[in-house]
Amino acid sequence: MRKRSAGPVGAVRRAGPGDGGRERGVVPAPAHGDWLTLGKDGRLSLYAPTDGGLLRWTETAVGGPAWSGPHFVPVQGLTDLTVVQGADTYVHFLGRRERERADGGTGVDVVHAIQYQTGLAFTEWRSLGNPHRDPAQGRALGRPVGAVAADGTVHVLVPDAHGGLALRREAPNGKWRAWEDLSGTGIDTPPATVSLAGGRVEVCAATASGVLLWRQAAPGGDFEGPRGLALRPVPGTVVALETGPERATFFWADAGTGGVGAWREGDWPVALGGAPTGEPCARLRTVVDGYDSVVLACRDRDGSAVLGVGGTENEAAGFWWYALGESCRGVPALARDGHGRVVMALIGGDGTPKVARQEAGSGLTLTRWRSLED
């Protein structure tokens, strides 16, 4: 694995009275991606965007239940924040940033920062630029998403102004390659990415007419595709999870049935039920009662959080949904804590982060919700 330099660090401080609404840790909506992460030391961290930057909460001990925070990380101009974690446990932050240009117009670029250790400072926010040189086209750039390959190589993907997909990734020497055009058409929402244990990365993007899929033929290689698939996801709802050796399953909100759908190479699509909004599901692979299982979490049409559980690559045998009786904003997050228990996080209807943890015993039952502001 390539060695990284910690580099200059950005400020991380306790949010205080001078931070407006940040002293209470209230956020308008969650970040995108995996915004609940498990560090190498076994502690969970939760990240959420706020005015002028982002907020971070961290477990004070492995398995909780207490959390420290919120701690405020300043970064001006972010319109979107995506969190992605690699197998090395480093947490990467990708943002779409808007700033005033010298000519008075608005400039847009993609920025990136890293947190190497739980609860410690970030690196500086580095600009990755914009695939478009024309400022007007650059302002049409979409929200970036990321994937960290098994060797630690960071991949940044973003819908461009032409309805295609742009890629920027690290080179073997740690420097960033130039922007690459992966082509495609009709893409106006961020794609889904999956980093497979064998080192390859796959990317899936939904359009109004179907799905486009890109795959690396070998770790670190070029992306093949796009290949068109006759699936009907709601654009912006596709997520991916490695469910077998070098094999990904894709989940989405289905435009035809209104429920959640699942598909992987070599199988037919399967309807999983549920009633999601036009947002993606959080996803996690874990063991429940001794069975390899997939857990999904999303917000249903009445704004409440729901949890779904089924056998890994055995969706046709049944997928069970449970209403959790808690309103939430945006997409929940799922992770395992330092003791291997499933933890679900959400941003409550009042803008306060909350978590619930898997209880001991059979099945997947969650504890009562704990506000991180308690």
Per-residue model confidence as pLDDT tens digits over 266-282: 999 999 999 888 899 99
Out of 90, 113, 129, pick the residue that ends a domain: 129
- Least confident range from 4-13, 33-42, 90-99, 303-312: namely 4-13
Over residues 102-127, mean pLDDT: 94
Phi and psi based region of residue 373 (left: phi greater than 0; alpha: psi -120 to 50; beta: remaining): alpha
Residue 4 has pLDDT above 80, yes or no: no
Residue 208's nearest CA partner among 181, 190, 239, 185 is 185
Report the share of the chain in percent with pLDDT over 90.
Answer: 84
User: Domain boundary residue among 129, 152, 179?
Assistant: 129
Number of domain units in the chain: 2
- The verdict on residue 177 lying in a domain is no
Query: Is 213 contained in some domain?
Result: no
Give the span between the Cα atoms of 130 and 132, in whole angstroms. 5
Find out whether 144 and 126 touch, Cβ atoms under 8 Å: no
- Asked whether residue 84 is domain-assigned, the answer is yes
Examine residue 353 and say whether the peptide bond preceding it is cis (omega within 30 degrees of 0): no
In 3-state terms the chain splits into helix, strand, coil percentages (rounded to 5) of 5, 50, 45
User: Is residue 139 situated within a structural domain?
Assistant: no
- Work out the number of other CB atoms within 10 angstroms of the CB of residue 270: 18
Q: What is the pLDDT of residues 319-329, one digit of tens each?
A: 999 999 999 99
Q: Can you tell me the mean pLDDT for 153-171?
A: 96
What Cα–Cα distance (Å) separates residue 339 from each residue in 10, 43, 44, 62, 358? 31, 10, 11, 8, 10
Per-residue pLDDT, 2: 45
Mark whether 243 and 358 lie in a shared domain: yes
* Same domain flag for 241 and 374: yes
Instruction: Reply yes or no on whether the pLDDT at 102 is more than 50.
Output: yes
- Residue 190 per-residue DSSP state: P
Query: What is the CATH classification number for the domain harbouring 364?
Result: 2.120.10.70
- pLDDT of 117 over the 90 cut: yes
Residue 290: inside a domain, yes or no? yes
Domain shared by 248 and 362, yes or no: yes
Is residue 181 a part of any domain in this protein?
A: no
Same domain, 246 and 368: yes
> What DSSP designation does 316 have?
G
Q: Which of 71, 95, 129 is the last residue of a domain?
A: 129
The answer to whether position 298 is within a domain reads yes
Convert the pLDDT of each residue in 217-250 to its tens digit.
999 999 999 999 999 999 999 999 999 999 999 9
47: containing domain: 1-129
For the chain, the distance separating the N- and C-terminal CA atoms, rounded to the nearest angstrom, is: 40
Residue 280 domain-assigned? yes
